[in-house]
Amino acid sequence: MARARKGERPMNKLLLTPEETAQVMGIGRTKVYELLRRGVIDSVQIGFSRRVPVAALHEYLDRLRRREAEEGGSAAASGSDVTTRR
């Protein structure tokens, strides 16, 4: 994430840009924007900027894991879209 200057400790970001979100999740930027538009991943608006709370990513991944466990992993095995709705 953010690079620390010499002698400073690295700062853990609380909010990520959609591009950083894509990089962290290992998915494309277009997919991130789709998930944000559908409300699958929570985000906040600051001025004209859209930001994704790191906590929202953890919540999203927890939902994916729960759903996969409930379905016995069939969604991942079938290659279907693993997004969830709220």
- Residue ranges of domains in the chain: 15-71
Residue 33's SS3 state is helix
Q: What's the CA gap between 46 and 6, in Å, rounded?
A: 30
Considering only residues 80 and 50, tell me which one the structure prediction assigns the higher pLDDT. Answer: 50
pLDDT tens for each residue of 17-37: 999 999 999 999 999 999 999
Q: What's the CA gap between 81 and 75, in Å, rounded?
A: 7
Asked if the model's pLDDT at residue 2 lies above 90, the reply is no
Its pTM surpasses 0.85:
no
Average pLDDT of the chain?
85
